[in-house]
Amino acid sequence: MPPVLGDPTRSSVPIVPTSRSRLRQTLDTLPVESRAYASATGFDGAPGAHLIVPNAKGAAAAVLFGLAEPGATPLDPMAFGKLASLLPRGRYRIADGAEAPEHAELAYLLSAYKFSRYRKSKPTDAVLESPRGARRERIETIAEAVAFGRDLINTPANDMGPEALERAATALAKRYGARVKAARGEQLAKGGFPLVHAVGKGAAEAPRLVDINWGPRKGGPKITLVGKGVCFDTGGLDIKPGASMLLMKKDMGGAASALAAASMIMRAGMPVRLRVILPIVENSVSAQSFRPGDVYPSRAGLTVEIGNTDAEGRLILADALALADEDEPDLLVDFATLTGAARVALGPDLPAYFTGDEKLAGEIAAAGAAAADPVWRLPLWAPYGALLDSKTADLNNVSSGPFAGAIVAAMFLKRFVRKTGAWAHFDVYNWNGSAKAGRPEGGDIQAARLVFELVGRRVAEIAG
């Protein structure tokens, strides 16, 4: 079960945000015994520091929590999440008057997540309270969806192969009354998804493409989400070194982000026509595996030469994006753990995004800031498209050099989006190597909260 907020009680302990410069003012609001205790401990309100101060009877009166100075450094909206692992058993609430309590409550729930499929974990004893209402419903909607996506990523490939990922997607769709279609195995080759079939045909479990539709058949903006679902990536015949395979269970993180965003949109009941397209494969080594030098057709009619079998994600996305583009949605977003180059450029915490739509680029930046789900734009640099030229096909799936890998991959995808103007590609990492506030160690969901915020803003703009 994902963490949830508790109903308000009279005995909950307030969590009071402060800082070095505001500490004296904060202490003046507390009973004299609490002020004396804080002074005796030397608590100075440093960022990330916390102190439980007692009242005259020795019970907890408040939790002081230090934040960065306003305006001095960027405030981490997830900072409050640190308390989920620090506070003792009890019931707490964000103090009245605190800025952006919704970020604090969400950060707490995101930090309280634990993956317990294979090993029992002790639930968080400290319950954070919040009044029932629209804010709490939104926070729990997001936290539930992120926990669902994290569970998918954290589950190893022996239990989260193509069949299991399809079942998880179908179960989510049915929960909200969505319509689901799936093509598998040879159906893909015959049904217009030759690249998905080529990548996944060497695995024990058949490749597949899952197509989910939710909402009214007519009316409302058309929102389409595409997610890369490579359940494990050996690299194929261009096999990865062993160390590079250690985290490859997370190569379906794009599908997990797409499903998490869809879960938020469906649970919130947004008045949109939502479509989720998931190409799902395992990139394995066998006698049936696709090979370097092979040439395959694509759904868009372009032929693709395989320069490297370890650049398989863009291949399955190409067919999926071509399908999505046929419908000309009002907004098309794809999520993919696509390139190491994006990580080299921006690190693991800041996903790259690409779009040729300047209005959409501004919307994404604003939504990411509002949702505390940061991303950074990289260019769709047209001259780099020539790096994908092939002598035997319409294009190669890789360039011949080591530079601009994330941009080259995005330029490859762009060739398969011809009709849709508002398209954005998110090159996500979806993994935390170590625990941070709001981001426990292990699988994570990036850019989904941003897209939920973005779609909500678009819906509000239409309604207003």
User: How confident is the prediction for the chain on average, in pLDDT?
Assistant: 95
What is the mean pLDDT of the segment spanning 287-296?
98
Indicate whether 49 pLDDT > 70: yes
- Is 391 part of the annotated catalytic residue set? no
Which of these is catalytic: 20, 240, 377, 457?
240
Report which residue type is found at 220.
G
What is the mean pLDDT of the segment spanning 447-461?
97
179 in Cβ contact with 274 (< 8 Å): no
Residues 6 or more apart in contact with residue 27 via CB below 8 angstroms: 34, 35, 38, 39
267 in Cβ contact with 145 (< 8 Å): yes
Indicate whether 73 pLDDT > 80: no
Which of these is catalytic: 267, 273, 314, 439?
314
What is the mean pLDDT of the segment spanning 149-172?
98
pLDDT at 125: 85
Show me where the domains of the chain are located. 13-132, 141-463
pLDDT at 72: 66
CA distances from 401 to 71, 157, 389, 412 (A): 43, 31, 12, 15
Report which residue type is found at 236.
G
pLDDT at 369: 94
Q: Does domain 141-463 match CATH 3.40.630.10?
A: yes
Choose the CATH number for 13-132 among 3.40.50.720, 3.40.1160.10, 1.10.569.10, 3.40.220.10.
3.40.220.10
Count of residues in the chain: 464
What is the mean pLDDT of the segment spanning 286-308?
98
Picking from 438, 398, 226, 382, the residue whose alpha carbon sits closest to that of residue 311 is 398
Indicate whether 2 pLDDT > 90: no
Tens digits of residue pLDDT in 208-220: 999 999 999 888 8
**Run of H or E residues at 295:** strand 295-297
pLDDT at 455: 98
Tens digits of residue pLDDT in 368-388: 999 999 999 999 999 999 999
**Run of H or E residues at 140:** helix 134-154
Residues 6 or more apart in contact with residue 40 via CB below 8 angstroms: none
* Paired tokens of 35: 């002020």
Picking from 203, 205, 195, 204, the residue whose alpha carbon sits closest to that of residue 228 is 195
Residue 276 buriedness (CB in 10 A; 0-12 / 13-18 / 19+): buried
pLDDT at 3: 83
* Paired tokens of 290: 């696709």
Tens digits of residue pLDDT in 183-198: 999 999 999 999 999 9
**For the residues of 96-122, what is the DSSP string, one character each?**
TT-S-HHHHHHHHHHHH----SSS--P
- Is 240 part of the annotated catalytic residue set? yes
Picking from 164, 206, 163, 173, the residue whose alpha carbon sits closest to that of residue 188 is 206
364 in Cβ contact with 353 (< 8 Å): yes
What is the mean pLDDT of the segment spanning 348-357?
98
Tens digits of residue pLDDT in 373-432: 999 999 999 999 999 999 999 999 999 899 999 999 999 999 999 999 999 999 999 999
Picking from 394, 375, 237, the residue whose alpha carbon sits closest to that of residue 300 is 394
How far, in whole angstroms, is CA 312 from its chain's centroid? 20
